[in-house]
Structures are given as C-alpha cells and as structure tokens.
Amino acid sequence: MSLTEKPEETPERLAFYDKIDKEAFTPLWAVMSSIITPEPKSACQPHIWRFENARAHLLEAGGLITAKEAERRVLILENPGLRGTSKITTSLYAGLQLVMPGEVAPAHRHSQSALRFVLDGSGAHTAVNGERTEMQYGDFVITPPWAWHDHGNTTDEPMIWLDGLDIPIVTHFDASFAEGMDADEQPITRQTGDSLARFGANMLPVDYRQEKLASPIFNYSYARSREALEKMKAQQEWDPCHGLKMRYVNPVDGGYAMPTIAPFLQLLPKGFKTAAYRSTDATVHVPVEGRGRTSIAGETFEWGPRDIFVVPSWHHVSHEADEEAVLFSYSDRVAQEKLGLFRQDRGNN
C-alpha cells in the first residue's frame, strides 16, 4: 500500500465496492490517495479581477437593484476553479459591495466575520455595535461575528469596498446563524472614534477583560497604517520574501485582528522582487498603491491599484514592484495556526 497509488480495481473488488456502496460504505484504499495527499492539492486557481471591470458591472447592478432590496448589493469574486460555491479560496469569500448615495444596506447580524477594504468613494459609513465609522480609501474595517451592522452612504459618490468573509469556514462547520433587525439602521449609542480611543491608543481600560475574539477596534485607517510603513521604510530592512509585511492585530491580546481571517499590509519598494515563497494559506491580495506583477506557480499577473488577485495554497509566489507598492491581503492563516496546520516554505531565505 502506498500513499500515492491506488490498488488495482479488479472485477471482484469493483463488485464488492458496488455491493457495500448500497449500504453507504466506501473502501478507504480506493480513495486514500485523493483525501490524504502528500502536499496540498487545491481546486482553487490563481486569478486576477480588474477593478475597472468590476466597478462598471457594479454600477450597472446599481441600476438594476437597490441595496435595500438586495440586502447587500455585492458581486461575488468566485474562483474559476470553484464556480458555484461563492468561494474565492477553499476557505474564504470575497465580494465587491456598492452603496449608492442616499442608500442604506439594512442592519443584520450573522455568525460569519467580515472585513471591508475600501476601494472607491470616500465618507460612507458602517455601523457596528452602536458606533459609526466613516470609511476612506484603504481603510480596513472589521465586522465581528454576531455584531449588528448596517452600511450607509450620505455622500454624493458611489462607495465600493471589498468584503472578505469566512463564509466557507462557517459553512464547513455548519455553524451559520443570521437575523435581520426591525429597523434599517441600528441605534447609535457611541460617538465616532470611541473604540479607537479606548483600544487604539496603546492603552486599554483598566480591568478590561477580553470577552470576544475579534479586535474591539473596527476601523484600522489607511492613513495610520501607511504612516507606520513610511516610517519603517526608511530603515531599509527588507524581508527577502515579503519586503515589509505587517499583520493587523487585536491590541487586547496581540493576536490577529479577527478570529478566522488574518489581514496584512505590505510595502514593496520600487524595483524590489521578492524571493519565491509558498504557504498553506491561500491569500487574497489587493494592491492599494503602485504597479507591478506577481508570479504564481510560474504564471505572471500584472496588477495596478484596486485589482484583486488570489494565490492558492502551496503555490510559489513572487511579487515584483515597478513603483513603490502597497498590498493589502487576507488569508485563513490565523485559523490554520490555531489548528496546527499552517506551514510555510521560504526557500533558502
């Protein structure tokens, strides 16, 4: 018996498989090599979505359905290898959401965690746990599991952001709950900036006890994150595989900002080419600034700001920046680390 070879299918064996099949038995040796693989074998494919095309389709959708009727007016970015499953990777979901001026995406809550990464427009808001935040380009915003959330746009421009959710993970565990609110918008009980003041100023309320896994900060503004990268950049200490890569944290415990999704922000200096790297966490990338290209298992994808591309698990990846570039990304690394599954291969670096 080998882990990679299937035993021969003799007529006697096939007849036996057929017989037991009717009683819902399956011989392990006939399927072993496809379920316990020597390396990750993913149906997820490398792919890039162009923001310009997505924006045009979204605005067209804006003429077909309101945010209210749709509940969420979103175009799902569905991996070409996973069509019909609402997945961008095997474990994660991505969509692009449009909120038109004057619209509200009504309040609801669900078991799934969501992140927003703002790509177009400025000043629309989302409300979470009684607090509103205004969203700007590049802001990373969290909706924790089971938190009421509604989105609104009182500006005079369409607002588009990337939604990253752990829908496939929650589905995998059959743990989905969801409900709507009677009102379109939740009551606002805290001033804007309250959670940032309480948890995002290198202090915590004395005697604070952590009750939830998600970060209590819900808007990690691009302005602040970018400023930090700018400061560190001067030091010229580049990781061969990542350039300068930071993870967004929960300030309460230093862990990832979300329980199931690991978000990152990365700077690549002009002309930098990262060394080949692979890891078990399939990753969704969004360039925020700059242009360049990424090689994924030998295939090259040219990108510019707001395009969205996906690197499947255990595919070699190398980024090259023609101009100074900043990439936002997210993966299920936090979940894999908790489960003892995460692996990475940095080559000789």
Binding of residue 163 to ligand GTQ (CB under 6 A): yes
The continuous run of DSSP H or E covering 205 comes out as: none
Residue of this chain nearest to ligand GTQ (CB atom): 163
Nearer of residues 241 and 308 to ligand GTQ, judged by Cβ:
308
Q: Least distance (Å) from ligand GTQ to the CB of residue 312? A: 21
Please give the backbone phi and psi of residue 294, each rounded to the nearest 5 degrees, phi first: -130, 130
Q: Least distance (Å) from ligand GTQ to the CB of residue 165? A: 6
CB crowding 254-291: b at 16 or more within 10 Å, else e: ebbbbbbbbbbbbbbeeebebebbbbbbbbbbbbbbbb
**Which parts of 61-80 interact with ligand GTQ (CB under 6 A)?**
72, 74
Nearer of residues 97 and 186 to ligand GTQ, judged by Cβ:
97
User: Using CB under 6 A as the criterion, what x/- string covers residues 278-317 for binding ligand GTQ?
Assistant: ----------------------------------------
Pairwise CA distance, residues 326 & 264, whole Å:
10
Q: Least distance (Å) from ligand GTQ to the CB of residue 79? A: 15
Q: In which residue are the tokens 């923001």 written?
A: 51
Nearer of residues 97 and 329 to ligand GTQ, judged by Cβ:
97
Nearer of residues 72 and 245 to ligand GTQ, judged by Cβ:
72
Q: Least distance (Å) from ligand GTQ to the CB of residue 185? A: 13
Structure tokens at 98: 């449009």
| Sequence letter at residue 228 | A
**Which parts of 78-137 interact with ligand GTQ (CB under 6 A)?**
95, 97, 110, 114
Pairwise CA distance, residues 329 & 149, whole Å:
23
- Binding-site size for ligand GTQ (CB under 6 A) equals 9
3-state secondary structure of 201: coil
| Sequence letter at residue 347 | G
Q: Least distance (Å) from ligand GTQ to the CB of residue 153? A: 13
Pairwise CA distance, residues 8 & 39, whole Å:
23
Nearer of residues 127 and 267 to ligand GTQ, judged by Cβ:
127
Q: Which residues pair with 296 in a beta bridge?
A: 299, 317
Pairwise CA distance, residues 225 & 136, whole Å:
13
Q: Least distance (Å) from ligand GTQ to the CB of residue 348? A: 40
User: Using CB under 6 A as the criterion, what x/- string covers residues 29-58 for binding ligand GTQ?
Assistant: ------------------------------
3-state secondary structure of 17: helix
User: Using CB under 6 A as the criterion, what x/- string covers residues 194-233 for binding ligand GTQ?
Assistant: ----------------------------------------
Q: Assess contact for 78 and 130: CB atoms under 8 A.
A: no
Nearer of residues 144 and 292 to ligand GTQ, judged by Cβ:
144
Q: In which residue are the tokens 């698990």 written?
A: 313
Pairwise CA distance, residues 217 & 206, whole Å:
17
Q: Least distance (Å) from ligand GTQ to the CB of residue 129? A: 14
- Chain Cα centroid distance, residue 288: 15
Pairwise CA distance, residues 268 & 309, whole Å:
16
Interface ranges with ligand GTQ (CB under 6 A): 72, 74, 95, 97, 110, 114, 149, 163, 165
